[in-house]
Chains A and B, each alone.
Chain A
């Protein structure tokens, strides 16, 4: 069965530090991957997505992710985090043709000012 796993459950960084959140998926077919973010008190919103083409995907707020097929990975990166990046981050994969999402466990990021 298709699954998504996120390596880090809780990450604490200081402002201006670089961020990399790990995400691995298990699926042999066409891969469509997403990163969602949930800021405190807000709803889930899309950061970026990968469907095809350039494996380096740029999203909102300076985030990017790289799809590495050989490693089944889709890690999220940001060169310099801000206090406002404090949130929970979810990696997800599209399953089948109906559009349902398979989520990882989520990673809580706390950025210290």
Chain B
């Protein structure tokens, strides 16, 4: 079974540019989570999809961030326009159901650097 994959692994952009991160969850996993770790800080929740619906987007920093999951398969996270403080590692995780006992499987992360 393939794990959670993320693309790109690393992105370097200039302030004001747009970047789109992609996450492919494990096949059959309805639940998809985005997290972010800013350097030196803890990993923080951004949002949660159940299939194509946003279940919880309470962690999204502001309206420069847009997440989608059309068709309930892969998800994209777009940052437009990017700011310096958006730099960090963006993680994606998936689970089959959102039950409390389910382990979240994490992707390798995308390291975003905004110059």
A residues engaging B (CB < 8 A)?
4, 30, 32, 36, 42-46, 49, 51, 90, 92, 94-106
Contacts and interface: CB of A to CB of B under 8 A. Distances in A.
A58 B64 CA distance: 42
Contacts of A32: 100-101
B56 interface: yes
Interface of B: 3-4, 31, 33, 35, 41-45, 48, 55-56, 59, 91, 93, 95, 98-104, 106-109
Contact of B104 (A96, A99, A102, A104): A99
A94 B42 contact: no
Given A99-B33, A100-B33, A103-B42, A44 B101 contact: no
B42 A100 contact: no
B3 A43 contact: yes
Given A49-B103, A51-B100, A100-B33, A42 B108 contact: yes
A96 B48 CA distance: 12
A34 B94 CA distance: 16
Contacts of A44: 91, 93, 106
A48 B82 CA distance: 36
Given A98-B55, A104-B42, 12 more contacts: A32-B101, A36-B106, A43-B3, A43-B107, A46-B104, A51-B100, A96-B56, A98-B56, A99-B31, A99-B95, A101-B104, A105-B41
A51 B48 contact: no
Given A43-B3, A43-B109, A44-B91, A99 B100 contact: yes
